Chain A
Amino acid sequence: MSDTLFVSVEGQVGSFPIAAAFTAGSGVTALFGESGAGKTTLLKMIAGVTRPVKGRIAIRDHVLFDSTNGIYLPPEQRRIGYVFQDARLFPHLSVKNNLTYARWAGRRSAGLSYDRVVALLGLGHLQQRAPATLSGGERQRVAIGRALLSNPALLLMDEPLSSLDHSRRQEILPFLETLRDETKLPILYVSHEVDEVARLADEIVLLQAGQVTASGPAETIFSRLGSHDDAGALVTGVVTASDDAFGLTSLDIGGQPFQIAKLGFAAGTKLRLRIRARDVSIARTLPDAISVRNILPARITGIETNDGPDCDLSLDIGGQTIVARLTRKSASELALKQGENVFALVKAASVDRGVMRG
């Protein structure tokens, strides 16, 4: 994956310093962190709204900010599409004039065609409406379309779903997936929602208190996204066969067979699965006469305990990492230690991404 965006900045957000360096390529890079970690400030620095104290920001060889040369491009010269938490549609303009604003006011030349964006985001019937008459989900779709039609070299999305309720989110997510898969646009997606990151992200940049604490492919970083109930891991697998009689699809995950509820994917399709830590149990020996279908040989690569009754085990299965959540007492009674070989019993897995690229 070629790097498109290069960011290395130092600055100040209120009272705490921000010092972040990362790169992002094509596809979706999720900028993940708790509220107040400095995610929005970082986006503002990239967009040219907030000036970093020092550092460098560039999209390929187009330098947007460089403190050593005194380069600081204004936002209108950065070719960065910005989708805000609140859609920020221009209330005095129709949906159509909002969508085409970058063309008639910003003098931006066409990238994606107007008709394609309207079709991609399902905006056909909304064009003559006033923004005030749109639902929250429709507004956010128009905002995304408006940013796309500015022919951006990079799209920034600042928690675009956070102001929407659950069903509206489910309405927008497919559009975002289509956007990711059909345009080759690099997207920097700010979120603190694990679900969104699992579905959308190719790469993850983890931000904590203004510092980048980890970055890399989603599968590698995902297991580090906090220790909440939704903690888990992403693994990729390839469809090998489907069993129509029992309604199962077989996958190959790093050389191990794996079965999930039947999906309409052909053999050879690459899928990404999300396995929650609480759905994984551990056995010392290969259990027999057990209903769990997916029992994978695994090696313990790390044990993380916190104040609660639980601990999280990082497990290596054929080169990929999954996480198991056990009680500390179980871990103690089984005398589990780093480096030991065990069996991981996976009770459930969900497919978060259909077809994977590459």
Chain B
Amino acid sequence: MLGETEWAIVLLSLRVALVAILVALPFAFIIAWILARFSFWGKSLLQALITMPLVIPPVVTGYLLLVWFGARGTLGGFFNDVFGLTFSFRWTGAALAAGVMAFPLLVRPMRLSIESLDRGLEEAARSLGAGRIVVFFTVTLPLLLPGILAGAVLGFAKALGEFGATITFVSNIPGETQTLSLAIYSLLQSPAGDAAALRLILVSVVISIVAVVASEWLQRRLSGGRT
């Protein structure tokens, strides 16, 4: 049903979104943990900063990424020199844009589940001889998994559909930065593209539904009948 170029677009989109979420997840978890467990000066500032990509126009986020992570940007230069990692007009840049845009959606559910975790369970675990790190991996993390998963799915959906920041930051290059949303947009611009666009639209709907259903199923399994 899908042609070779269309498959390439789907795979590129999945790769961009997955890489974005996998890289962003640990950082988002640490931020969620800090926001949930500590109170410190500037906490609301950090919170506002995290929420920024959600409230400012995506085009502005894309522009800022271009300024900071572009070939001549400070951070872009740093990543290029130190890790040999280039963002501008590459799929890695698309992943960066997707990750930044999805970040607030990753943090929020994780923060909520960390806050609602009964800390008495950690106390009980320590009284049974487990140190902090062991308690984290045997009690805390397993109980947070549904929340982490919820954040990851929400973030993945956002990353998959990201448009404004991506097109501003890394443009719309077929085979490199042209993800599903960008491809659909391009096809709709050309007079003969309607049929192809419809196919891609269907694919993106199917991917989203599969992701949501899979996460619901996983969450039920992880919580083992608990509510």
Contacts and interface: CB of A to CB of B under 8 A. Distances in A.
A49 interface: yes
A171 interface: no
A102 B128 contact: yes
Given A84-B120, A84-B124, A147-B128, A105 B134 contact: yes
B57 interface: no
B127 A74 contact: no
B48 interface: no
Contact of A108 (B120, B126, B128, B143): B128
Interface in B127-146: 127-131, 134-135, 138-139, 142-143
Nearest to A44: B123
Interface residues on A, range: 20 to 34
Given A84-B120, A92-B142, A92-B143, A101 B224 contact: no
The B interface is mostly helix, strand or loop, or mixed, namely: helix
B125 interface: yes
Nearest to A78: B127
A147 B129 CA distance: 10
Nearest to B128: A102
Contacts of B207: none
Nearest to B141: A92
A90 interface: yes
Contacts of B127: 47, 75-76, 78, 80-82, 147, 150
Interface string A178-203: 00000000000000000000000000
Given A90-B125, A90-B139, A101-B125, A106 B120 contact: no
Interface string B38-61: 000000000000000000000000
B128 A106 contact: yes
Interface in B211-227: 222-226
Given A82-B124, A86-B120, A130-B224, A91 B143 contact: yes
Contacts of B120: 84, 86, 88
A88 B120 CA distance: 7
Contact of B225 (A49, A82, A130): A130
Contacts of B194: none
Nearest to A87: B124
A90 B129 contact: no
A47 B120 CA distance: 13
A107 interface: yes
Contacts of A76: 126-131
A286 to B, nearest CB: 57
A299 interface: no
B226 A91 contact: yes
A107 to B, nearest CB: 6
A132 B223 CA distance: 11
A146 interface: yes
Interface in B185-219: none
A108 B131 CA distance: 12
B143 A107 contact: no
B127 to A, nearest CB: 4
A87 to B, nearest CB: 9
B143 A146 contact: no
A33 to B, nearest CB: 22
B57 to A, nearest CB: 42
Contact of B126 (A74, A84, A132): A74
A164 B173 CA distance: 67
A89 to B, nearest CB: 8
B121 interface: yes
Closest 9 interchain pairs by CB?
A: A106-B129, A102-B128, A82-B127, A88-B124, A75-B126, A105-B130, A108-B129, A106-B128, A106-B130
9 contacts: A47-B123, A76-B131, A81-B127, A88-B120, A91-B121, A91-B143, A102-B128, A130-B225, A147-B127
Interface of A: 47-49, 74-76, 78-82, 84, 86, 88, 90-92, 101-102, 105-108, 130, 132-133, 146-147, 150
